[in-house]
Amino acid sequence: MLLLASYIFYGLWNPPLILLLWISTLIDWTAGQKLAKVEAKAKRRFWLLLSMAVNLGFLGFFKYGNFLLENFQQMLALFGQDYQPPKWDILLPMGISFYTFQTMSYTIDLYKKKIEPARSFLDFSLYVTFFPQLVAGPIVRSDALIPQFYEPKRASESAFFLGFLLLTIGLFEKMVFADSLLSPVADAIFGSKEALLPLDAWTGVLAFSGQIFFDFAGYSLCAIGIAMMLGFSLPDNFRYPYGSIGFSEFWGRWHISLSSWLRDYLYIPLGGNRKGFSRTQINLMLTMLLGGLWHGASWTFVVWGFLHGSYLIIERLVRLRWPVKPSKGFIQVILAFLTFSAVNITWVFFRAEDFKSAWRLLLSLFYLGGEKAVLTSNFMVLTLLLMSLVFFGHYAMRKHSLVQLIEKSPRWLILSLWGIMLFALFTVQSSGEQFIYFQF
Amino acid sequence: MGALALATLFLSVHEWYWGQIQHWPKGHDLESLDVWADQRARVAELSEEDVIILGSSRAHFNINIHRWDSLTGRRPLQLAYPGSSPLHPIEDIIEKTDFRGTLVIGVAPGLFYTVAGTWPANRGKALVDRYYNRTYAQRFNQWVYDFIDPHFHYLNQEISYESLIDYLPIPNRDSINDPDLWPPMVRMDAYRNIRMIPIMENDTAHQRKQKKIWFNPNPKNRAADTIDAIMNHYQQLFQQFKDRGGKVAFVNGPVTGYYLKHQPVLWPREDYWDRLLNECGCPGYHYLDHPETSIMEPPEWSHLNRRDADRFTEILVEHLREDKLISDAL
């Protein structure tokens, strides 16, 4: 039933692209079965490579096809060759980056003999297509999800209502904060063709910072909430990232399922920190560059990854030089604010359409050429107020979880806030923007 | 349950406030892309006796398709859309369908004479894109909306939070213009027929709010440099349509005040309207050419009230009948 619901859910977007899901499922199921039985090294490698080739092939064709072709064209132009490639109109299948990474983790873990294969084809198919997290994660490991499918599930009354509350919070974050308040501000600033006043530029960057958090963390909460209402458990994907002190902590709190996937299936296989100081930094940078490219087929995403890689390397060097952890609260807040600010600067490359726009906005941030004001006071004040609350709220919640907070709070308070959020969801009339991470 | 009850209580207050205090009418969203797409989907069912109305808000306001239906026995398809150029919808109907009936095209000069890539054209393109790119989920969503949308204020996109933020009384910097605060103006039904609401027809303070939005101290003709290309493109499109048996009629609706002052200066009749009719070889009905429509006064300078819209429709139908561009259903 859940499997059928998942296919219908995906098909409501674009039915023919279910075929890709089926192919991915079939190949990875077959490869998984073989990897579980075959002992010969060469054969095991063959099945692993087949699985990876199909998944990465899909990603390469649908997500990076045009990007590769454009770069090939530009490279030929450097040598004076005028090559006009045929124009491809490729539709990016929603959530392809998520389900391909998820299924790859299954075959890689089987290859490494870390997990048992799924007991049945249907269980595995549901693992690939489980609708709450199919299109935008969390990217769940097979050993955390497939065993949950073996027995019929039924949510307890308290789990059902907690799941519904998390779903409400997730939708509230997405529709009220991300779409209605922050998206218009970010769009106005990133869409400007002129250099801006620093106040406008910072407000716009902060707005995007909030938009992408509320959009994606909101989706993750919805996925976790829906799964909980059905009696399943999905892992946390965000843990108050904007309160992080340092960038390694940030990546332990932001899109946790992707950062742990990159750590386990890219950084560690590259050698991790086991092959000396220089090699560690190279591995770190490579991981972040590919992590950037995972988000989109554009060099701006690679620069975003490069900035985060650089931050992580600088942080390691600083920690080596000054290994003491700051204990005073005030200094911790300042360090968290510095981390938050540096992360905000990276969002410029993540959101800008091209380097020209990104550069123009960077100059505007530091008062290097912009005089234009574009934002109305209403949107500006609300954005700055909300993002201040986000920063201090995330900092205050660093050692807590949302579920703990809900369970500790008085019932009347939770019910009142829940009622207000439901009312806001009814009346918000967001224009129905799709979740940003659907495109990744 | 407690949370749902609280939300329902708030929602009831919200419905009362927007209906009784703010005078917002219930109905389908005036700017809904999906309601437009639903009507666009009906083009395939039309015969060569049918009529499609294209254009911007004046064609949308001034033609009452139900009145038209009562006069001819056929209800036109209303595809005019506020604040948009009909350029891309015209291209869509002519190039991507085999419709061979009559196109009645509203000509609001600031929006009609435009090239692709400008904001009025982009608004029209968004409609066409929506029609072709709608997912099944969006279609299902719209199907549900069709039932509930006309009955609740909370579904009204014009009073979305994004719009309401503009109402906060925080002063703007000198270089930033205060945002436009659009007053409620019309009620639209599922056929996209719209009727001006009484408060806009009668309340001068309400009309003044709308006039303030229409007023532009430095109006410009964005098409001045590209008019030859625009005319040429329209001429080719309409020739293609006429070659397959289609008929085209242009309509220019009544204006007063600010628009009456600037329109004839920025888009002189002989250089634009007359040239359009000549080069496209199609008839046109200008409000100044008919004694009754020439004295109609839109309450907010640009769109007719209910009584005048009905009469305007009757006069237009008479002209179209006389010129054998439409026929009555038997």
| A213 and A114 inside one domain | no
- Largest Cα–Cα separation, chain B: 68
Does the distance separating the beta carbons of A381 and B6 come in below 8 Å? no
Q: Which of A126, A149, A172 is the last residue of a domain?
A: A149
How far, in Å, CA of B173 to CA of B175, rounded?
Answer: 6
Chain A residue set in contact with B, beta carbons under 8 Å: 11-15, 176, 179-181, 184, 372-379, 381-382, 415-416, 418-420, 422-424, 426-432
| A53 and A125 inside one domain | yes
A278 located within any domain: no
Q: What angle do CA A422, A423, A425 make, to 5 degrees?
A: 65
pLDDT of A48 higher than 80: yes
| A131 and A22 inside one domain | yes
Count of domains for chain A: 2
A298 located within any domain: no
Q: Are A240 and A248 in contact (CB under 8 A)?
A: no
Q: Which residues of B touch A382 (CB under 8 A)?
A: 165, 168
Nearest to B33 by CA among B157, B153, B120: B157
Q: Which of A93, A119, A149 is the last residue of a domain?
A: A149
pLDDT of A370 higher than 80: no
| A168 and A209 inside one domain | yes
A191 located within any domain: yes
A309 located within any domain: no
What is the average pLDDT score of chain B? 92
pLDDT value of residue B1: 78
| A208 and A139 inside one domain | no
| A190 and A115 inside one domain | no
| A162 and A142 inside one domain | no
Six-digit token string for A57? 């092939």
pLDDT value of residue B200: 94
- What residue spans of B215-305 are helical by DSSP H? 227-243, 257-266, 273-280, 291-294
CA distance B159 to chain A (A): 8
Nearest to B196 by CA among B66, B31, B306, B314: B306
Distances (CA, A) of B81 to A384, B313, B329: 36, 17, 27
pLDDT of A433 higher than 70: no
Average pLDDT over residues A69-74: 81
| A144 and A165 inside one domain | no
The nearest alpha carbon in chain A to B177 belongs to: A376
CA distance B54 to chain A (A): 24
Residue A67 is part of which domain span?
2-149
Does the distance separating the beta carbons of A13 and B10 come in below 8 Å? no
3-state DSSP assignment of residue B257: helix
Q: What is the pLDDT of residues A11-30, one digit of tens each?
A: 777 777 788 888 889 999 99
Does the distance separating the beta carbons of B170 and A378 come in below 8 Å? yes
| A332 and A192 inside one domain | yes
Q: What is the pLDDT of residues B144-163, one digit of tens each?
A: 888 888 888 888 888 888 88
Q: Which of A97, A115, A149 is the last residue of a domain?
A: A149
Nearest to A229 by CA among A176, A186, A170: A170
Q: Which residues of A touch B161 (CB under 8 A)?
A: 176, 180-181, 424, 427-430
| CB-based contacts of A217, cutoff 8 Å, min separation 6 | A170, A173, A237, A238
| A177 and A45 inside one domain | no
Q: Where is pLDDT greater, at B102 or A62? A: B102
Q: Is B213 on the interface with A (CB under 8 A)?
A: no
* Candidates A157, A374, A378, partner chain B, best to mutate (most B CBs within 10 A): A378
CA distance A165 to chain B (A): 10
| A23 and A172 inside one domain | no
| CB-based contacts of A185, cutoff 8 Å, min separation 6 | A203, A204, A207, A375, A379, A380, A383
| A140 and A178 inside one domain | no
pLDDT value of residue A432: 54
